[in-house]
Structure 1
């Protein structure tokens, strides 16, 4: 892993491979490790960039009020520092917000978008859910993990991987940056890009979980309906966490096929 000083922060990243560039942006409370299963499979054909958002993983943070636009500006400056002129961007949840914001503010950098489990605006239902997340993180990472878990995985997966998830929870709690997670939650409040989505004129995929009860299909259709060159793909038996075992091969095929369409 390598670090770059961006906006007075140390941003942790991995850049591998050659060819067209794919940049992966993770979601709330995750890290660059979330994307390993995809980046490791794609780095032989493409240049892949994975990185930790400010206040996540091994990236540092500051005392600024964190917003989606600030995350986006970090990404923009990281791309400039790495001499990446343009790329295809893949973002999950919070990461999807960030790449949509980048596409609106720096369209010259964006050749295509793959937006997973994201939202274009912070509506009243999301506000209630985020309030629950905010209250949970104040109690600690274990409480936060338990609160989000039923939004991320289907009941059959929760049961099948019950012991593993318990181990993951307590291991993650040892290093979790609670303040960074709280800032990430608060960054979503007031976010609204719906009216500017029609400015995006690059090929876009919106990938949604059929059973997502956090960023519901109706929310994600607001993205696909407002971007001209956009396709909505719905994955069966999937909630908010798109990147589950049974979807990996399908997602790799979707991304590879999408990359073939990008000039």
Structure 2
């Protein structure tokens, strides 16, 4: 294991009545890597060495996930976003850059609207700031704890055992985000939106999103599903994302 993949710090902070776990790697400007729903910061481990060459990388377990506190209240993307803002403020990080996948991308979009001066640039993968789990009844019917053996990989991400795994699955039904045009107009960050052309979120919705965010760029990956940053696209994603994050916000 390379030095960049060994945490320089691991910690849990009490924020907004929950414990939020994070790890840091490398040195430099702060770069937050935020995972998708049902995942944890472990999903970014294989990417750390590439970003820690240039940044102080923060791997964070979002509310309810990983080593952070399990859900005790109804899940809201806004609450997870407020946790990240509180973490940034507690650590006295003046500005941050971020990469967010799916749920993590929605958090970055909401964070950059909630506190426009905080986020300098961000890469958002598989998110459109307009998604409601209730619009996908077939998914909710299949994605239940009773069917956990079909989704056993979820267990690898969470430290709280079966109770936490069950809560993550059950809270998916409450996933709902719909940012208004006014909220999106508040975003000042350089923004790279990435979407696979074969995923559930429509290309049209992300094109529309890009038009509502100043300083945004759009990358549609052909023949690609939700995990657009992984698999055969991984090396190109790392190269392009690093180049984008290195740009200065005019």
SS at match of 2:117: helix
Contact 2:192 2:216 (8 Å CA) reproduced: yes
Question: Does 2:125 match 1:139?
Answer: no
Question: What is the DSSP-based 3-state SS (H/G/I as helix, E as strand, rest coil) of the residue aligned with 2:23?
Answer: strand
Please say if 1:80 is aligned against 2:89.
yes
Q: Aligned partners of 2:170 and 2:71: how far apart in 1? A: 13
Displacement of 1:259 in angstroms is 2.1
> Does 2:234 align with 1:248?
yes
Match for residue 11 of structure 1? 20
Partner of 1:202: 189
Q: Partner of 2:7 in structure 1?
A: none
In the superposition, relative to structure 1, how do residues 134 and 87 fare at CA in structure 2: closer, same or farther (>3 Å)? same
RMSD over equivalenced CA pairs, Å: 2.2
Residue 230 of structure 1 pairs with residue 223 of structure 2: no
* 1:154-193 map, 5 Å: 168=153, 177-188=165-176, 191-193=177-179
> Is the Cα–Cα contact under 8 Å of residues 71 and 167 in structure 2 kept in the other structure?
no
Superposed CA offset, 1:23-73 (max 9, x none): 111111000011112222111211111111111111113522221110100
Deviations 1:81-107 (A, max 9, x none): 222121112111111111111111111
2:202 to 208, 216, 226: 216
CA contact (8 A) 2:129 2:179 kept: yes
Q: TM-score, normalised by structure 1?
A: 0.81
Structure 2 Cα separation of the partners of residues 170 and 31 of structure 1: 10
Give TM-score scaled by structure 2 length. 0.85
Picking from 100, 105, 128, the partner of 1:91 is: 100
Check the 8 A contact 1:133/1:185 in 2, yes or no: no
SS of equivalent residue, structure 2 residue 175: helix
Gaps of at least 5 residues in structure 2 are 1-9
Summarize the Cα distance change of 1:254–1:57 in structure 2 as closer, same or farther, 3 Å threshold: same
Cα 1:170–1:181, aligned 2, differ >3 Å: closer, same or farther? closer
Compared with structure 1, are the counterparts of its residues 2 and 170 closer, same or farther at alpha carbon in structure 2 (3 Å cutoff)?
Answer: closer
Q: How many residues align?
A: 235
Structure 1: runs of 5+ lacking an equivalent: 146-166
User: Within the alignment, does 1:71 sit opposite 2:80 as a pair?
Assistant: yes
CA contact (8 A) 1:92 1:115 kept: yes
> Cα deviation per residue 1:120-152 (whole Å; 9 max; x = unaligned)?
2236xx6332x3333322424234x3xxxxxxx
Change in CA separation of 1:132 and 1:254 when aligned onto 2, cut-off 3 Å? same
CA 1:184–1:2 in structure 2 vs 1: closer, same or farther (change >3 Å)?
farther
